[in-house]
Structure 1
Amino acid sequence: MAVETVAAHTESSVDLGPAAALSCRECGERFALGPIFACASCFGPLEVAYDLPSGSSDELKKRIEAGPNNIWRYAPLLPVPADVADKPNLNPGFTKLVKADNLARELGVTGGLYVKDDSGNPTHSFKDRVVAIAVEAARAFGFTTLSCSSTGNLAGAVGAAASRAGLRSCVFIPHDLEQGKVVMAAVYGGELVGIEGNYDDVNRFCSELIGDPLGEGWGFVNVNLRPYYGEGSKTLAYEICEQLGWQLPDQIVIPIASGSQLTKIDKGLQELIKLGLVEDKPYKIFGAQAEGCSPVSTAFKAGHDVVRPQKPNTIAKSLAIGNPADGPYVLDIARRTGGAVEDVNDEQVVDAIKLLARTEGIFAETAGGVTVGVTKKLIDAGLLDPALTTVVLNTGDGLKTLDAVADTSQATATIRPSLDAFRAAGLATS
């Protein structure tokens, strides 16, 4: 089945595989592939438009299944050159889709509950996916420095990917980030710069740097490379459907920071439908936020189309983006699919982290606690159907956010090295 998505008049000299142009999400104007992120006519955000593969869906499916066990198996659907798998890269993706039967029993889910566990990526978060795509764009456009504004996970992913690709890295983070994420970003040897303020302050600074001669030759993965970077999240949709036997999930719960991940997962699902790789059927997308930074959830529940910025105050720092760029698009998708956007407080986040660890042996970072906590809340409210197949995303490793659970996760007892002491502590149960 051929899918033609781009008019032939737009030309580009760079090789990014099936990527044919950049298209404005607001007015539809197209631009040649390049390091730009906003429409020159209406200032709307740009995204990659494709000439997707022609031929039968069965042939494409076989080609994908014969590919490497990472995101490059989906290279025909991504803005990357055909030989991407041969280049130095971290090769993220194809992480586990865990059938979470124990968690399902706790939550009363009967239709099948799965956790897409992206903590298994090279730097232990889903950010490796998006950065891998951005690296290929940086190479294509001749950038020598890879950079980003980050709430933590992205900083580490950029540092690692740049080292592997032989690029310089310089990343910017809020000054009060969790220490684990600071270490995991700094260890790769690039520059790590703390900015006084929150993530939105960091992002504004990076936008200024791009327009200054100081930023010449710099590829900011989530600014001037953002259209390409965002496409990496589509691979989550591809993998989930392939791992479900080329089936769409009925419901999927996705954490919201900027909102890009949720919008691109929806885009990926739609592409699979158009290509005939999955059977078209209704699915619902649910967004998950922390109560202390819930601008999209607040707008959804109020019935608003405008997302009003908030000042973040939550332990879920990886989701602490008070002015999410893709917030309005998240609202559209949640409403179009019949889903919802909900939030949980910090105590519920911690409880959910421990629940997932106790039931499935998966130690999630705070963002994973948000998705599990919101899943429980949605079920209790009757908004998520427990009789349907549901996928919940865990986007990072709990070792990155140890402080969140440290106070409530301590040794059960400290005893002398004797059996009598063990019995006296009440631990010798049958």
Structure 2
Amino acid sequence: MFSSLARSPMRRLAARAASVAAGAAMIAALSLTATTAHAAEEDAVPAYAGQTSVGPLTIEPSSGNWGDPFTRVSTNGLSLPEDGSVRWYLRAVKGVLSDFNNRSATFAGKVATPTATSYDLGPADLLPAKAMGVSSTYLPGGLDKTVVGSTFAVILYGTTSATFITGSYFRADIVVTDLGENKTGWKVVTAAPVEAITPSIALAATAQTDGSVKLDATVKTTDGSTATDANGTVEFARAGGTTTSVPVSNGSATFTASGLEANTEYTYTATYRAGTADKYKDSGAATAIISTVGTPQAPVNTDVTVTIPASASGLKFTVAAGSVSLGNAAQTATAFTASGALPKLSVTDGRTTKSAWSLNGKSSALTNSADATKTIAAQYLGWVAPTVTGGITAGTAVSDLTTDRALASWNGTSTSNVSATIDTTVTLAAPTTTVAGEYKGILTLTLI
């Protein structure tokens, strides 16, 4: 609400510049909400460090003579973000926002702290100096109100003192108009609505080793950059199947499709759907064709645990019969050492659409068969550099199997079927303080 300060020496009217051609004869009008359209370059109010435009300011009437009083000033349901204890002013401004810090600028007067969450000020709340430019005292010094087409702005803002803006404001752009008979007036400038942008969308599909398909969609603007301000959704649709909508975040959306047939080709589309008050329209559809891999099989546990994807074709690996026996450890000056061959590993990849994979291994701790409290940590296990066939890449020698280590990998660049083998020797170098006895553990191999 505006407080009554009829005798205050600080009665000024806030404003801001915007460009517009000279208007026709003025006629009193219903309310129009001013946009943030700017005036000519020399009149524009550019961005100013620490000061933010919260939204448009509505002035009623939207046009009139210089002496016509306002009947209503509103921020259209919005409030200033600053603390409610600061004071609010309505001011006319021409030029940069730093004019706010000039005590010679003209005030319309102080506005009391509103009790509502927005500013909706009627005649009873406005100060006596509530008309637009009843004298030159209430207009910016750089404005000549006799020049049709001149622009300025009216701004409602918060302040902690009589002359300093706190950082946020509401703005209505004003232009001087020709009323005829050598008279001028004013009107609120409204900009033509901005047409929504038609974006494009990019879709990437990746077959996962668990049999699912991961879909990644990116919404793009007309210059090809990611539309990080898009607030709509992406519709992921499977040909002959279901459609799922995923909200866009920072220009992207991701969906994982599960419950698919192994080694089967699927077609997916992605379409952007505009959100509320979105600057973007719906997009066209992007298409991706992808073939699934085999679905995984439950782990097979012996002395060596192996996870084998189940598929007569597709991507899978097998381990030859047998276990890893390290035999009797030999004591050196620094460790108990032992080694044993890992049963031969075989990997086949007959997928229609291939992607890179890696065969990894890690071990549990080895536990004393007679006393489970005595263990050898997995960090003392390793393997020598593997020997491979079939055009794949061998891993390196490792000396710590606490976490997954690569035995072999393939880059997925060939369209031919892959048939490869991997051989290596598991090694142990246990501390000399290790308690005597037989130790057992589980080596887990995973193809991802």
TM-score (norm 2): 0.17
- Larger C-alpha radius of gyration, 1 or 2? 2
Instruction: Select the structure that is richer in strand.
Output: 2
Tell me: higher relative CO, structure 1 or 2? Use CA pairs within 8 A at least 6 residues apart.
1
Instruction: Select the structure that is richer in helix.
Output: 1
TM-score (norm 1): 0.17
